[in-house]
Structure 1
Amino acid sequence: MSFSYRYLRNSFAFVNASFRVNPEDAFKYSNHRYLINHERKCGEKDVLLLLFVKSSSENFERRQAIRSTWGNETYIERTLGVTVRVLFALGLHPEPEKRRQLKMQLLFEDQRFHDLIQQDFMDTFHNLTLKLLLQLSWKETYCHRAQFLMSADDDVFVHIPNLIHFLQRIGHGKPKNLWIGRVHRGSPPVRDKESKYYVSQEMYPWLSYPDYTPGSGYVLSSDVATKIYQAALTINASFYIDDVFLGICAKVMDIAPKDHAFFSGEGKAPYHPCIYNQMITSHGHVSDIREMWRRVTEAEVSQISSGLIWRLYCAVAKVRLLCVPFLSNSYPCKAAFF
């Protein structure tokens, strides 16, 4: 059914009534025990950004790549002059034997880097909503002074200098009601039982979801993170599509996401210097994060936007890269004109 039909049929007034549960039932979803925690990670510093990376226990190499590139707190503070806290959100490996093997490895890793936050739920696709609640509750409890909260997958590349400059521009005067990412509007539930995104009619009988941003990467202002967490404590968190659950909580609080063309929803950003100047996130990086970091931090990239010739060249290049049908699934065509 068409986008407009789905939207016209849905006022989303159902959200309050349909997903509300009593506080005791809602609390059990966010009441998981910490196995690894760092209560003083934020301290009393003025933290601009608390950045949670959703990771799995066995993804040590991905975490290492992030620590040595865009998630390096020392680099960020020294080069960009702001305090950012980068943490990895983990559950338990679902296989008992593998879980036992990884337990000591994770403890050694955390003793060295002090950046793992692990709770005792099973780390599966159907528990991603629990991982979202981990991030929201940790921020509320241990890092309430952070101006922004970002959530990202561990296969996402974050252009941290661009992100920090963007947050600094909008961060003056303590911004309110900001939820930024690649917005999905009027998306219908997946009814194909073979898909991991399958949602039954019983669980969600309506034609479309409230607006939401993909869980691969989005940013919330501090007040929005608090409001969504408060809503989550009244909502049935057995709904396992975490980014849609975020949208449901936000709708309860009358918060709407704002679209940013350079948050990548699904695919990788094109490898091109004219893109690096504006990109915020790029999705689908497993083995090339270090190479991507080298590319975006080269001195030549910072000079791309200077001069009329370069601006004209980049205008043409971005149209070619982003506006040819089926060529790019990272940024929309409109991003070429920013």
Structure 2
Amino acid sequence: MLMKFRRIRKCQRVQLLTTSLFLCVLMVSWEDLDYHVVSHMRSYTYRYLVNSYDFLNSSLAITSNRHHRKDGSSSEAGSVNYQYLINHPEKCGGGGGGVLLLLFVKSPPENFERRQAIRETWGNESFVRSELKESVRLVFAIGVHPDVGRRSGLQSALLQEDRVNGDLIQQDFEDTFHNLTTKLILQFHWSHAFCPQAHFLMSADDDIFVHMPNLVKYLQHLLSSHSGAKDLWVGHIHRGAPPVRRRSSKYHVPFDLYPWPSYPDYTAGAAYVLSGDVAAKIYRATLVLNSSMYIDDVFMGICAKAMGVSPQEHVYFSGEGKSPYHPCIYDHMITSHGHTADVRSLWQVATAPTAYSRSRGFMGNLYCTAVRVMLLCLPCYQSTYSCFAAFT
């Protein structure tokens, strides 16, 4: 009997120790568990069962949508009117015909090399005009450097860069992560004022690679379709994403800024395309919605939802990842994320006739499908495109 009692006491001690250890681990990892499991369950429930974002107009509308500019006049706007330091209002004029695509690239002031690489590759207006027979206008959206000590020297370099290339659009706000929404608003206000005739507007980061021949072909197909390229907002969609409540995260959003459990659907801010009518709707939304949401792609989703616009998925628009390097991927790719030093080499390979061929035949197409399955569907690979892209 005594041995049995001791055995029970020992078992209880082990259970107590195990329970304590489990609770300690749970407490330490609760923040991650809460974000990756609990908040996503709450967010998906709200997105797919409730699916109501009526609070956007009632809670995020500006109480007074009139404010005064520095010159004393008033205007309707949801954000401060920052002064243009560099501008090219004539950028979309001349040349005859319409502008197929206005290409806005978000770039910090110091990223000179990235901008030059884009000009020489997928953002090359002359290449699109001569090889693809279309009109594309490239501009870079830029603020001022947040370091006051470096600002003067960088500004002189930017002015010199713009004298050579004539494609910088700069306003007098600090170019920081928390001002990305300000940069987004710059894009829509500039396009409304100076390039409303563009059929499409694309917003992209400066570490994106765009397969311009594939993109132009896609946009031409949309223009020739029955819908005439209306109500288009296409990219890599985030559905039912929850706000990040971890204070240590770059994407932390406090409850007082956004108290709801789920964001409206939005496309990854790395690269997306809008039709001209949707760009006009987003512009109008920026006039009446509070722009304090500093995560720009989320703010874009809020504006779109308020205007009744829904994103459309395209399996070859990237999210956060870099696409696999293979000719069978280049056949269909539109964008790939995370490219800096390899933009020029990737452009040469991806646009070479041997990489982009319409005459592979049945066996060639079967081979490419198998390659895409291997690259995009197996769990050992982490790629930028979903498995569905393998069968496109």
Per the normalisation by structure 1, the TM-score is 0.97
Aligned-residue Cα RMSD (Å) equals 1.3
Q: How does 1:6-25 map to 2 (within 5 A)?
A: 6-7=46-47, 8-21=49-62, 22-24=64-66
Of the structure 1 ranges 20-29 and 59-68, higher mean CA displacement relative to structure 2 is found in: 20-29
Of the structure 1 ranges 323-332 and 230-239, higher mean CA displacement relative to structure 2 is found in: 323-332
Aligned to 1:178: 232
Offset, 1:9: 3.8
Q: Is the 8 A contact 1:52 1:150 kept in 2?
A: yes
In the aligned structure 1, how far is the partner of 2:250 from the partner of 2:326? 33
In the aligned structure 1, how far is the partner of 2:359 from the partner of 2:154? 46
Aligned to 1:49: 101
- Residue 248, structure 1, aligned to residue 288, structure 2: no
- Residue 93, structure 1, aligned to residue 134, structure 2: no
- Residue 67, structure 1, aligned to residue 67, structure 2: no
Amino acid at match of 1:24: R
What secondary structure sits across from 1:236 in the alignment?
coil
Aligned to 1:302: 356
Partner residue of 1:316 out of 370, 374, 379: 370
Offset, 1:306: 2.1
Amino acid at match of 2:129: E
Aligned to 2:184: 132
Once the two structures are superposed, residues 35-90 of structure 1 have per-residue CA deviations (whole angstroms, 9 ceiling, x without a partner) of 00001000154100000000010000000100110110001100000000010000
In the aligned structure 2, how far is the partner of 1:83 from the partner of 1:319? 35
Offset, 1:281: 0.3
In the aligned structure 2, how far is the partner of 1:286 from the partner of 1:304? 29
What secondary structure sits across from 1:15 in the alignment?
helix
Offset, 1:328: 2.1
Offset, 1:4: 3.6
Offset, 1:305: 5.6
Offset, 1:174: 3.5
In the aligned structure 2, how far is the partner of 1:120 from the partner of 1:237? 17
- Residue 5, structure 1, aligned to residue 59, structure 2: no
Aligned to 2:19: none
Partner residue of 1:117 out of 169, 176, 191: 169
Amino acid at match of 2:46: R
What secondary structure sits across from 1:88 in the alignment?
strand
Once the two structures are superposed, residues 294-321 of structure 1 have per-residue CA deviations (whole angstroms, 9 ceiling, x without a partner) of 1101111122662111101001000000
- Residue 32, structure 1, aligned to residue 46, structure 2: no
In the aligned structure 2, how far is the partner of 1:301 from the partner of 1:212? 32
Of the structure 1 ranges 102-111 and 165-174, higher mean CA displacement relative to structure 2 is found in: 165-174
Q: Is the 8 A contact 1:262 1:279 kept in 2?
A: yes
Q: 1:319 to 1:28 in 2, by over 3 A?
A: closer
Number of aligned residue pairs: 338
What secondary structure sits across from 1:237 in the alignment?
coil
Q: How does 1:162-311 map to 2 (within 5 A)?
A: 162-172=214-224, 174-303=228-357, 306-311=360-365
In the aligned structure 2, how far is the partner of 1:290 from the partner of 1:95? 30
In the aligned structure 2, how far is the partner of 1:307 from the partner of 1:61? 40
The unaligned stretches of length 5 or more in structure 2 are: 1-37, 68-75
What secondary structure sits across from 2:238 in the alignment?
coil
Once the two structures are superposed, residues 12-54 of structure 1 have per-residue CA deviations (whole angstroms, 9 ceiling, x without a partner) of 1111111100212672625111000001000154100000000
In the aligned structure 1, how far is the partner of 2:114 from the partner of 2:255? 36
Of the structure 1 ranges 253-262 and 295-304, higher mean CA displacement relative to structure 2 is found in: 295-304
Aligned to 2:20: none
What secondary structure sits across from 2:66 in the alignment?
helix
Q: Is the 8 A contact 1:48 1:147 kept in 2?
A: yes
Offset, 1:324: 1.0
In the aligned structure 1, how far is the partner of 2:156 from the partner of 2:320? 34
In the aligned structure 1, how far is the partner of 2:245 from the partner of 2:110? 31
In the aligned structure 2, how far is the partner of 1:109 from the partner of 1:326? 43
In the aligned structure 2, how far is the partner of 1:94 from the partner of 1:222? 33
Per the normalisation by structure 2, the TM-score is 0.84
Q: Is the 8 A contact 1:304 1:311 kept in 2?
A: no
Q: 1:305 to 1:238 in 2, by over 3 A?
A: farther
Aligned to 1:327: 381
In the aligned structure 2, how far is the partner of 1:140 from the partner of 1:158? 24
In the aligned structure 1, how far is the partner of 2:244 from the partner of 2:302? 16
In the aligned structure 1, how far is the partner of 2:143 from the partner of 2:228? 32
In the aligned structure 1, how far is the partner of 2:363 from the partner of 2:245? 50
The unaligned stretches of length 5 or more in structure 1 are: none
**Structure ID, larger Rg:** 2
Offset, 1:115: 0.4
